[in-house]
Amino acid sequence: TLGALRRNVGSVQVTALLDGYIDIGSELVIGLAEADAGRLAEASFQKPGPRRAPVNAYLINLGDRLVLVDTGTSDSMGPSLGRLPAAIEAVGVSPDQIDTLLITHMHPDHINGVLTPAGQALFPNAELVVTAADYAFWHDDANMNQAPDGARPFFIGARQAAAAYANRVRQVGGEGEAVGAIRTVPLPGHTPGHAGFIVESDGEALFIWGDVVHMATYQFARPDWSIAFDVDSKLAAETRKRTLDRVAADRMLIAGMHLPFPGIGHVARDGDAYRFVPDEWPYAL
C-alpha cells in the first residue's frame, strides 16, 4: 500500500505511515560545510541541492489499543504533505478507532495532523499524550513573544492542537510508561520536551526517536550538524551523539520521522561517525 508498510515487533504490529515530504535546504543546517555536504551527497548517490525528507508516523497495534505516534501535518504545510489520513484509511483503520496519540514534540509536522482542515479533532476517541516539558514550552507566552516571527505560528499551532483535545490531554514526564508496552525516552534539544518512544514485546524492541536526525545524508556522518528548527542546537547535537552511540552499541532497531520511508533500521559505527542501515523487508508478513 502506498504510504503504509507493516512489520512486527514481537507480537506487536507496527505500521509505518507516510504523510509526505519536505525539502530542506543547506542554509537550514547549522555547522554545514558545503564541501563536506557535497562529498556526503555524492557518497549517497544524490545530487547537490536541498535534501528531501519524509514525514513519517507510526501506528502501533497493542492488541487492546491502537496507538499513533505523531500525526503529520493536516493541510498546514503545503501540497506535498497531509497524506496521513489516506494512509491510515488504506490500512483499514478509521480515526475513531485510534485510542492514543503519542506526540514526540509539538512541531507542526508532528502535531498538526491531530486536527482536520477545519480545525476540529480528527481522532474523536483518542487521548493526546505530550511531554510536560514540551506542553509548558509551547504554552508559555514569554517564549512565544521572544520567538522570531517565523516561529510564532509553531506556538499557535501547538496551542490549537492541544485545545481541540482539552479534556483528553495527558502530560508525561521523564522516562517511563507512556501507554501499555510503550515507554517514553527524553531526547531534549530539538525542543525542550522532545522525546522518543520504545515499544517492547516478546524480547524485541523498536525505538521511535522522533527528530534525532532530520537529514540522513548528513547527520549520521556529522552528528554535530544541527537543524535551524532546533530550540537548542547545542543540546540537540549532544542528544543526537549520545543517542547514536547508544543505539549503535545496543544494536537497537530504530525508527525516525525523517529517515527514508519507512524510516526503520539500525545505526552502525563508521569510524568516528555513524551510518544508517535500513531494515530488511519483513518477508514473513
pLDDT for 91-101, tens place per residue? 999 999 999 99
CA distances from 208 to 41, 93, 252 (A): 25, 21, 11
Q: What is the per-residue pLDDT for 37?
A: 87
Q: What is the per-residue pLDDT for 16?
A: 98
pLDDT for 183-225, tens place per residue? 999 999 999 999 999 999 999 999 999 999 999 999 999 999 9
Q: What is the per-residue pLDDT for 231?
A: 96
Domains of the chain by start residue, with CATH:
4-278 (3.60.15.10)
Please state the φ and ψ torsions of residue 136, each to the nearest 5 degrees: -65, -40
3-state SS, one letter per residue, for the chain: CCCEEEEEECCEEEEEEEEEEEEECHHHEECCCHHHHHHHHHHCCCCCCCEEEEEEEEEEECCCCEEEECCCCCCCCCCCCCCHHHHHHHCCCCHHHCCEEECCCCCHHHHHHHECCCCCECCCCCEEEEEHHHHHHHCCHHHHHHCCHHHHHHHHHHHHHHHCCHHHEEEECCCEEEECCEEEEECCCCCCCCEEEEEEECCEEEEECCCCCCCHHHHCCCCCCEECCCCCHHHHHHHHHHHHHHHHHHCCCEECCCCCCCCEEEEEEECCEEEEEECCCCCCC
Distance CA(116)–CA(113), nearest Å, equals: 7
In this prediction the pTM is 0.96
Nearest to 202 by CA among 51, 8, 6, 1: 8
Q: What is the per-residue pLDDT for 1?
A: 52
> Which residue stretches of the chain have pLDDT < 50?
none
Q: What is the per-residue pLDDT for 177?
A: 87
